Amino acid sequence: MAEITASMVKELRESTGAGMMDCKSALAENDGDMDAAIDWLRKKGLSKAAKKSSRVAAEGLIGVSSKGLKGAIVEVNSETDFVARNERFQAMVSEIADLALVARGDVDALKAASMSDGKSVADYVTEAVATIGENMNVRRTGYVEVSDGIVATYVHSQVVPGLGKIGVLVGLESGGDKAKLAAHGRQLAMHIAAASPIAVNPQDVDSSLVERERDVLAAQARESGKAEEIIAKMIEGRLRKYYEEVVLLHQVYVIDGENTVGKAIKEMEKDVGAPITVAAFVRFAIGEGIEREAGDFASEVAAAAGA
């Protein structure tokens, strides 16, 4: 019997998209013959994933999970929203979200984690591609943990508990009343879902983003023809406005529409009986940043009809 090497398994997996253990079995069943192994996988319906892997998967679900002082979030993509409504897909995303609590924000560690049937997340998803018939992938994961306080979660457009189109984690450090803190944390998570901040404080904003914004503002200000010292003040004023739009503590709190989030947190502190610090937050929206294919619907219908 031919020796089945790791490189052979890797080659077969890359050419078919089937799971690692299925590729190993295929090679073993066919005495290491690569072409025969490919046919063996095809007959069992396990090589369909390869045909799907080039298609854009920008739909799917965001899953959130929390336990004690930690919370995790994942994005698992599919090609269509129809699949996101599939119960098997939803169960898969829920289980992956729970495993994300152990992966602690490391997507490679998450893909290597074991599902309830013993398969890795990566292999389980590959098999689901073959079964369900659409390209899918575990795109990213996030993690928030606090030492004393709560990690609040919120899911927008929720299809089942913990799964939806936008997911948020927000960690609040506080020694105050945990029940009241959790209620405020959920409202803060709802604000983050709606307002899409990119950082907690101005100093947390990526310096490259700030410099790019400053360059744009400078070019706009110089169009006024004013003196440089006036332009400098104009830039700083407009930069403050930029922070009000993208920095969490500087945004107008959508729950009351009046105070900044920073001021709202001061009011929360009175209610919970202790200082509150926003340790971190993560916000995922399904498909954000994925370049979607621009389809011609009429052509697609014609092709489906055989025209």
Name the residue range of residue 196's domain. 59-201+250-285
Read off the pLDDT of residues 39-73 as tens digits, 9 standing for 90 and up: 788 777 666 555 555 566 679 999 999 999 999 99
Is the domain of 102 the same as that of 218? no
Is the pLDDT at 304 greater than 80? The verdict is no
Examine residue 302 and state whether it is found in any structural domain, yes or no. Answer: no
- Are 248 and 200 in contact by the 8 Å Cβ rule? The answer is yes
Is the domain of 44 the same as that of 188? no
Alpha-carbon separation of residue 24 from 31, 34, 38, 138 (angstroms)? 11, 11, 11, 23
Is the domain of 197 the same as that of 210? no
Is the domain of 215 the same as that of 267? no
pLDDT of residue 16: 74
Interhelix angle 178-195/261-272, nearest 10 degrees = 170
pLDDT of residue 214: 83
Give 250's DSSP letter. Answer: G
Is the domain of 44 the same as that of 189? no
Among residues 52, 69, 88, the one where a domain terminates is: 52
Is the domain of 73 the same as that of 195? yes
Query: How would you classify residue 68: left for phi > 0, otherwise alpha for psi between -120 and 50, otherwise beta?
Result: left
Mean pLDDT, to the nearest integer, of 238-250? 93
Residue 216's pLDDT band (boundaries 50, 70, 90)? Answer: confident
At 234, give phi and psi (nearest 5°): -65, -40
**Measured distance CA(217)–CA(239) in Å, rounded:** 8
Is the domain of 164 the same as that of 240? no
Examine residue 293 and state whether it is found in any structural domain, yes or no. Answer: no
Number of domains in the chain: 3
Is the domain of 143 the same as that of 211? no
CATH number of the structural domain spanning residue 235: 1.10.286
The string of DSSP letters for 19-40 reads -HHHHHHHHHHTTT-HHHHHHH
Is the domain of 99 the same as that of 157? yes
Is the pLDDT at 241 greater than 70? The verdict is yes
Is the pLDDT at 213 greater than 80? The verdict is yes
Is the domain of 222 the same as that of 255? no
**To the nearest whole number, what is the mean pLDDT of the chain?**
88
Report the predicted TM-score, pTM, of the whole model to 2 decimal places.
0.76
pLDDT of residue 297: 43
Is the domain of 37 the same as that of 109? no
Among 99-108, 226-235, 280-289, whose mean pLDDT is lowest? Answer: 226-235
CATH number of the structural domain spanning residue 184: 3.30.479.20
Examine residue 236 and state whether it is found in any structural domain, yes or no. Answer: yes
